Structure 1
Amino acid sequence: MKYSSVMYLHKGCEAEYKKRHDELWPDLAELLKSYGIKNYYIYLDESESRLYATFDAENLDSEALAKEPVMQRWWKYMADIMETKSGSFEPASGALQEVFRFNVQDAHLARVVAVLDIGKTNIKICLMDAQTGILRDVIKRANSVVDDGLYPHIDVNNIWQWIKDTLTSLTPNYFIGSIAITTHGATAACMKGDELALPVLDYEYDGIDQCRTEYEKLRSPFSETFSPLLPQGLNLGKQLYWQQSKFPEAFSNVTDILLYPQYWGFLLSGQKVSEVTSLGCHTDLWNPSACQFSHFSQQQGWDKLFPQLVETGAKLGNILPALAEETGLPKNCAIFNGIHDSNASLVPYISKPLDSLTVISSGTWTVIATINGDLDSLDEHKDMLANVDAFGRATPTIRFMGGREWEALRSDKEGTMEDVGFILENGVFALPSFAAGGGPFAQYQGRIDARGLSLTPGQQSALADVYVALMTDYCIDLLGESDMTVVEGAFSNNLNFLTLLSSLKANSEIYASRDVTGTAGGAALLSNKSLKHKGRLSLAQCEPTLKPLLNLYRRQWRERIADMEHLATP
């Protein structure tokens, strides 16, 4: 059932009313959902300062909702800018009667943007409200690699079936008007026409390093590509070179090389395109300064196999008719050109008029990028590089496998600040690195110096929090500190990490994104320019009593790092 009403705003309070609703209390939002309220819209008639509200709900108990303490507090909070009923803070309102309806299609369905968020660890479909950009629902499953066949590869057929099945299950409750795409990097699909010429290679396959010596001689220099030479298949160029060398006949049949987000865009829309954020992310294939393919890519002839470069977030077309029929999606569901995931986290910030801003995108990888940062600070031997943002600009970046290292160190019990204090006071150290594949210390084997102490599960997790905070702090120092730092993704909900990082970075305000996933929000924002998506941030608080001990611990940790590097120097 649809409910419609009119309310009355005090003149001159329009901006304040919008501001308060942009910052709607999370507990109020959950309360409204619990009463079955959805598709809630409020419109303003500025000439009369009137508000017109509509929402859908089945079997709504309005009297019970009005008695809820959260509802009462909200009405009291709004009473200074609205007309209220006599004797209470409830807004004065009048019911509106429906007098006409025309061409109503799926009016009962919530209108959303679906974001395919394909990460190395998890695959998600995130549903973002088509007007506000607020996350409405997330469906996810674990991702895994298939080890049989020619080489370890991504099970794209299984992922594709899951995507189709999930979209089919969502269409009875959501009107999915568009689909945006974001994926992990260092991955491409070698196509023979509309089919795969070779399986989609897993970038963590150690066998790719068989060609490292020969490849190193051929690749373009760091000064051209800002891509460091990385292990395994983290340079996409190394993957392609290994596939070309190992399977020459199959590679000779390749007609198109599709970057990973564009592969899924092709399956959805039938359009083959390329895109700069995935092309320019430590691939060895792109010259970000000249905005063209690298000399190495041209020498190999691969530049001719990549389809036309299309703007990030551009509309590719509508969903394939057969796919719309299979899933129940609307035939005019728009498909948008996808983006590399850590670059998606930058999207809400790249157009901000700030001198510099650091964004920490955390997941399997912790990727730290400084918008408007200095490229001269980059050291290829520290896994520093230039990402290319959605506008095609080179962005100084450093990364390490923070999520994977944190998982390797932690226990199943969450650490408290008291546990953190124990780690610092007793000088228990975790020294990098605890994940193969990348970071400033990728060549070292991680170790824990517990000083002969037996750690409780909580202290073990606290050590993991301290370690990733110190690694992040170290990486930021290499890039150069900004006045403002925003933490997106998994670590934005880790209070110990935020407190430690804020205490370590006295000259920078550390903010945690309150959006569940910055990557999905950024992808949705790119593909739907009308979204009123505004990143919700909360300021992380430092712990003054912790700072002297933490600074001493950091100095000792870095001295051990320096000793470790000195011993490794021939």
Structure 2
Amino acid sequence: MRYASVMYLHKGCEEEYKKRHDELWPELAEHLKQHGIRNYYIHLDANENDRNENRLYATFDADDLDAQSLADHPVMQRWWEYMADIMETKTPSFEPVADALQEVFRFNVLQPDKTRVVAVLDIGKTNIKICLMDGQTGALLHIEKRVNGVVDAPPYPHVDVDSIWQWIKDTLADLAQRYFIASIAITTHGATIACMKGEQLALPILDYEYDGVSELKEEYDAARPYFSESFSPRLPQGLNLGAQLFWQQKRFADEFATVDSLLLYPQYWGYKLSGNKAAEVTSLGCHTDLWNPTSCQFSTFCEQQKWAERFPEVIETGAKLGTILPDLAKETGLPASCVIFNGIHDSNASLVPYIGQPMEKLTVVSSGTWTVIATINGKLGSLHEDKDMLANVDALGRATPTIRFMGGREWEQLRSDSKATLSDVNFILENGILAMPAFAKGGGPFAHCEGRIIDRGITLTPAQQSALADVYVALMTDYCLDLMDTSNTVIVEGAFSNNLNFLTLLACMRSQNEIYASRDVTGTSGGAALLSNKSLKLKGRLSLALCDAQIKPLLNLYRQQWRDLVGEL
């Protein structure tokens, strides 16, 4: 909503009025922002016909303005008193006399009736989302979501880019009718790359879970860089991006020879939206074998393969790529001024709200299809390649020690549709029913092991199945944290931040840590939005996870039994 009023300035005080506003108190500016005030303008009308006063015309935009709360705050009261000597004010409050102005004409106004938002395109392995975040507060206003899938067809299983792109365009067009989408931020899963020939794909975008990439395993292992350089562990399937490119280059030599640019997955969608190509460090440094995270440059292997020269310029994560393509703006109804920002790898997006924190170290557990555990400002010396540990690269380009496993996928495989209570968890602990890793092939410390359940001859109810899933992912997270250089504070982001059983179990097992659950429901989307608008207030609310004293003794025995069996794997 647009507010407009006229105020009255004493003659001869024009320069002093401007000076005081040029030196506006930071605490007052923050107070105005917190009340959602934006686009605030004040214009001076020097009235030569009136010896006593000039007119000041003020306009600003705000949604759901609480005018009384704005006025009652001490900083507002002090400012009014400070300005009272040069303006016409009310008695005894010092509030400026401000006569409301009535709107009588409007022309070519840029959608003033729509809420200004940042749209976050969040492409995960399992789901695709478009999240709308309030452009002022960062609050999540709306989510559109669909299931993601893979095209299992020649020449190999690949990303269904046509279907995804059509859904993105259709969804943005629908949302643009209700919201003013000022910008689009992008976050996607890793281990995915587009081989481009001009404006088109030279080859389909390979699905990283395709086993066929492994046929060149021995040849690739001989060529790839040492762990000490890339801090990329050797992973199965196509989870090392270098292995994908190596296989495509060998098996599709003619098509690969035409590739003139390589676009990481967030940057592919950024290109589709803006027409501008770029590279970016969080996706380059995500177990790719293509990046040296300690020197912040392409690996020697990437240089030797002549791939480094095919990447566009590496630009800052969250930097402006450009505005939306004009034809796309017309097709979707998005404003021509809509800004597209350089995207980020999803697990690194979860770190964004915390990488500016002053604490020495902070451990973040990002949970989704993958459970990714990273310690900001942690030491790389704790990393072991055979445990699927690696150095991720955060949005500032810093090497960040990380360990991960496919927690979300394993949990989905183990659980039922019934929700577990703590009494169901207690049943699992009392009866010593154990889930032994691993239940997904993608990676983790036990990627080479076949998952099995030690059921003691007991048939579980659906709720008890879900309890076993909760216990399993908590045990795996605890195990991974023990391998890491962790901080005293551990923050759980994403899906598991709402799983009370998981949080309670983790708090019971890790008395050496304070375990917090993020109450920010936006997860990776919020981090991506924060990159595009540094003024958003997305530091997030945290709640402390509490141990249940009644289950702790039993859990300690159960945990030790599970650890003993894991040690034999």
Q: TM-score range by the shorter chain?
A: 0.7 to 0.9
Moved over 2 A (4+): 1-5, 13-22, 38-51, 94-105
- Other-structure match for 2:532: 527
SS at match of 1:40: coil
**Is 1:296 the equivalent of 2:320?**
no
Query: Which of 438, 446, 450 lines up with 2:451 in the alignment?
Result: 446
* Equivalence for 2:63: 39
Q: 1:15 to 1:497 in 2, by over 3 A?
A: farther
Q: Aligned residue for 1:490? A: 495
Residue 115 (structure 1) aligned with residue 139 (structure 2): no
Give the corresponding residue for 2:58: none
Q: Could you tell me how far apart the structure 1 residues matched to 2:484 and 2:240 are? A: 21
Tell me whether 454-463 or 511-520 shows the greater mean CA deviation: 511-520
Write the distance in 2 (CA, Å) between the matches of 1:259 and 1:20: 37
Change (3 A) 1:449 1:3: farther
Match of 1:271 among 268, 273, 276: 276
Alignment match of 1:99 (pick from 91, 102, 105) = 102
Following superposition, the deviation at residue 245 of structure 1 comes to 0.5
User: Which amino acid in the other structure matches residue 99 of structure 1?
Assistant: Q
Distance in 2, matches of 1:222 and 1:259, equals 22
Q: Report the secondary structure of 2:209's partner residue.
A: coil
Counterparts of 2:535 and 2:106, CA distance in 1: 24
Q: Does residue 554 of structure 1 match 2:565?
A: no
1:113-144 Cα offsets, whole Å, 9 max, x none, are: 00000000000000000001111000000000
Corresponding residue for 2:399?
394
- Offset of residue 409 of structure 1: 0.3
Q: Does 1:330 find its partner at 2:335? A: yes
1:201-243 deviation per Cα after TM superposition (whole angstroms, max 9, x unaligned): 0000011111111100000000000000000000000000000
- Return the offset for 1:20: 11
Match of 2:187 among 144, 169, 182: 182
- Residues 492, 517 of structure 2: 8 Å contact kept: yes
Pair 1:163 & 2:168 matched: yes
Partner AA of 1:534 in structure 2: K
Aligned residue pairs total 500
1:149 positional shift:
1.8
Q: Following TM superposition, by how much is the alpha carbon of 1:41 offset from its aligned partner in structure 2, in angstroms?
A: 3.8
Q: Residue by residue, what CA displacement relative to the aligned partner does 1:173-224 show, whole Å, maximum 9, x if unpaired?
A: 1000000000000000000000000000000001111111110000000000
Residues in 1 aligned to 2:387 and 2:336: alpha-carbon distance in whole angstroms = 48
Q: Distance in 2 between matches of 1:283 and 1:309?
A: 15
Residue in structure 1 matched with residue 148 of structure 2 by the alignment: 143
Q: CA deviation at 1:513?
A: 1.0
Matches within 5 A, 1:273-288: 273-288=278-293
Per-residue CA deviation, residues 492-520 of structure 1 (Å, 9 max, x unaligned), is 11110011111111121111111112100
Computing the radius of gyration over CA atoms, which structure comes out larger, 1 or 2?
2
8 Å Cα contact 2:35-2:66 kept in structure 1: no
Residue 455 of structure 1 corresponds to 460
Deviation of residue 48 (structure 1)?
2.4
Q: State the secondary structure of the residue aligned to 1:113.
A: strand
- On the 8 A contact 1:488/1:517 being kept in 2, the answer is no
Stretch deviating more after TM superposition (156-165 or 39-48): 39-48
CA distance in 2, matches of 1:166, 1:372: 39
Q: How far apart, CA to CA, are the structure 2 residues paired with 1:232 and 1:212? A: 9
Give the conservation status (yes or no) of the 8 Å contact 1:4–1:95. Answer: no
Structure 2 unmatched runs, 5+: 6-26, 37-61, 81-96
Mark the CA change 1:16 to 1:245 in structure 2 (over 3 Å): closer, same or farther: closer
User: Cα deviation per residue 1:21-56 (whole Å; 9 max; x = unaligned)?
Assistant: 99xxxxxxxxxxxxxxx93245746342699xxxxx
Distance 1:21 1:425, change over 3 A: farther
Q: 2:485 maps to what in 1?
A: 480
Corresponding residue to 1:407 among 406, 409, 412: 412
Deviation at 1:147, TM superposition (A): 0.4
Shift of 1:272: 0.5
Distance in 2 between residues matched to 1:96 and 1:514, nearest whole Å: 42
1:6-405 alignment runs, 5 A limit: 39-42=63-66, 44=70, 46-48=75-77, 97-100=100-103, 104-405=109-410
Contact kept, 8 Å, 2:371 with 2:404, in 1: the verdict is yes
2:56 corresponding residue in structure 1: none
TM-score normalised to structure 2 length:
0.84
Tell me the TM-score normalized by structure 1: 0.84
Q: Where does structure 1 lack aligned partners over 5 or more consecutive residues?
A: 6-12, 23-37, 52-93, 566-570
Task: Give the residue type in structure 2 aligned to 1:432.
Answer: P
Instruction: Decide whether the 8 Å contact of 1:14 with 1:49 is kept in 2.
Output: no
- Cα 1:96–1:183 shift into 2, 3 Å: farther
Distance apart, 1:541 and its partner CA = 1.4
